[in-house]
């Protein structure tokens, strides 16, 4: 069975494992003050073009979202998200558990429109009853989105401008950031992200690490006592080296970017394969997630030999399904998938 179910089906890139081996018996202090974490932070600062960025390593994505959002909002504030935002749908209410409402605006392939955001904020403050409502206290976007879509630099700039006008932070969930930054046609770079966002994270779990997300607060923007906040939310690891070593490897010799580019190339190959066979796409994604409109007969036929994700019902005879490539996808797997498709 080959799997395109997601981008976390394998372990970690071998250079990461290698470094874990090499550094294994070197004694280090705990809680993220080890030398590998310090080195990784310096490399990430350089890659972001921001020598003043505050950086923290956290194990997983939902954890990062809840720690960041609860760390930035005041008690009466909520976070504005597209309706399809991961925080609104697939985190089991983790944000609400921290006491904050997820406020929703319409989504467009998972993206938020700056104009609609602006209108939402304007309407909120125009409503005389707004002191009885949850204040919009920050904006959450994902890049790529849950549908594999990307913002342009101009779109990020517009969201940034709206956030500045209302003095609320812009938070970019970069669980798959690598796949966004290396996608064909994108004009968004890591320094752009650092310049336009108040906080974002560089996803490791889905881009070659065993685990780990690097939270970046550009321009010394971390909240006071954020370490204690992380600890209180159960998000501090004793052996911070585990995260430090991994990000240090990922940001050495551009590994993060080269393995991301590989996933994109594999996605292109997969896309062409489906297209050449006449399959339709639910939307046109430039990243590692491809959404295909699959005849249900194909669904049944593939089930035992290929893993992929059911997304939604399309019509009586079709389903929307997701095929994801990753840093680890071998070209052969795509060839095998195509061969299976051709058997019919």
Site for its own copies in 228-247 (CB under 8 A): 228-229, 231-239, 241-242
β partners of residue 293: 280, 320
Considering only residues 25-44, where is the footprint of its own copies by CB under 8 A? 25-30
Token reading at 274: 């489906």
Q: Give the helix/strand (H/E) hosting 295.
A: strand 289-295
Q: How far is CA 167 from CA 61, 67, 162, 163, 318, in A?
A: 25, 20, 8, 6, 45
Count of all residues that appear for the chain in the document: 344
Q: Which CB atom, from 30 or from 317, has the smaller least distance to its own copies?
A: 30
| Smaller CB separation from its own copies, 244 or 286 | 244
Residue 331 within binding range of its own copies, rule CB under 8 A: no
Nearest Cα residue to 289 out of 270, 317, 315, 314:
270
Q: Using CA of residue 296, residue 300, residue 306, residue 311, what is the dihedral sign? A: positive
> According to the binding rule CB under 8 A, does residue 5 interact with its own copies?
yes
The nearest distance, CB 163 to its own copies, in angstroms, is: 19
Quick one: 238 or 342, whose CB is closer to its own copies?
238
Tokens encoding 258:
């080269």
Report, in Å, the least distance between residue 314 CB and its own copies.
15
- Nearest approach, Cβ of residue 332 and its own copies (Å): 12
Number of other CB atoms surrounding residue 124 within 10 Å? 16
SS3 content of the chain, % helix, strand, coil (to 5): 40, 20, 40
Residues numbered 107-166 forming contacts with its own copies, rule: CB under 8 A: 128-129, 131-135
Binding flag, residue 3, its own copies (CB under 8 A): yes
Minimum distance of its own copies from residue 146's CB (angstroms): 12
Judged by CB under 8 A, the chain residues 247 through 306 that form the site for its own copies are none
| Residue 328 engages its own copies in binding (rule: CB under 8 A) | yes
Task: Give burial (CB, 10 Å; 0-12/13-18/19+) of 156.
Answer: buried
Q: Which two tokens stand for residue 276?
A: 């050449």
CB of 97 to its own copies, least distance (A): 5
In the range 48-87, which residues lie near its own copies by CB under 8 A? Answer: 59-67, 70-71, 74-76, 78
């Amino acid at each position: 069975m080959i799997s395109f179910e997601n981008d976390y089906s394998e372990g970690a890139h071998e250079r990461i494992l290698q470094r874990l081996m090499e550094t294994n018996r070197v004694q280090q202090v705990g809680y993220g003050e080890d030398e590998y974490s310090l080195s990784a932070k310096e490399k990430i600062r350089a890659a972001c073009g921001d020598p003043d960025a505050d950086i923290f390593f956290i194990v997983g994505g939902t954890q990062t979202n809840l720690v960041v959002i609860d760390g930035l909002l005041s008690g009466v504030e909520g976070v504005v998200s597209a309706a399809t935002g991961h925080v609104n749908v697939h985190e089991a209410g983790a944000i609400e558990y921290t006491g904050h409402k997820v406020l929703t605006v319409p989504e467009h392939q998972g993206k938020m429109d700056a104009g609609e955001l602006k209108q939402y904020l304007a309407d909120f403050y125009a409503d005389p009853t707004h002191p009885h409502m949850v204040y919009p206290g920050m904006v959450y976007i994902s890049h790529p989105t849950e549908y594999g879509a990307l913002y342009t630099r101009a779109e990020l700039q517009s969201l940034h401008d709206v956030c500045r006008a209302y003095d609320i932070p812009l938070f970019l969930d970069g669980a798959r950031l690598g796949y966004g930054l290396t996608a064909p046609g994108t004009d968004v770079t890591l320094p752009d992200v650092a310049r336009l966002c108040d906080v974002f994270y560089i996803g490791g779990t889905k881009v070659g690490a065993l685990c780990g997300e690097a939270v970046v607060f550009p321009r010394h923007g971390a909240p006071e006592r954020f370490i204690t906040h992380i600890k209180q939310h159960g998000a501090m690891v004793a052996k911070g080296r585990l995260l430090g070593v991994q990000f240090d490897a990922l940001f050495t010799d551009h590994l993060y970017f080269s393995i991301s580019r590989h996933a994109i190339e594999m996605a292109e190959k997969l896309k062409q394969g489906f297209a050449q066979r006449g399959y339709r796409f639910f939307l046109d994604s430039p990243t590692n997630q491809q959404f295909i409109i699959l005849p249900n007969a194909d669904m049944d036929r593939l089930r035992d030999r290929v893993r992929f994700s059911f997304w939604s019902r399309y019509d009586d005879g079709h389903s929307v399904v997701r095929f994801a490539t990753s840093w680890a996808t071998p070209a052969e797997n795509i060839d095998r998938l195509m061969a299976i498709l051709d058997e019919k």
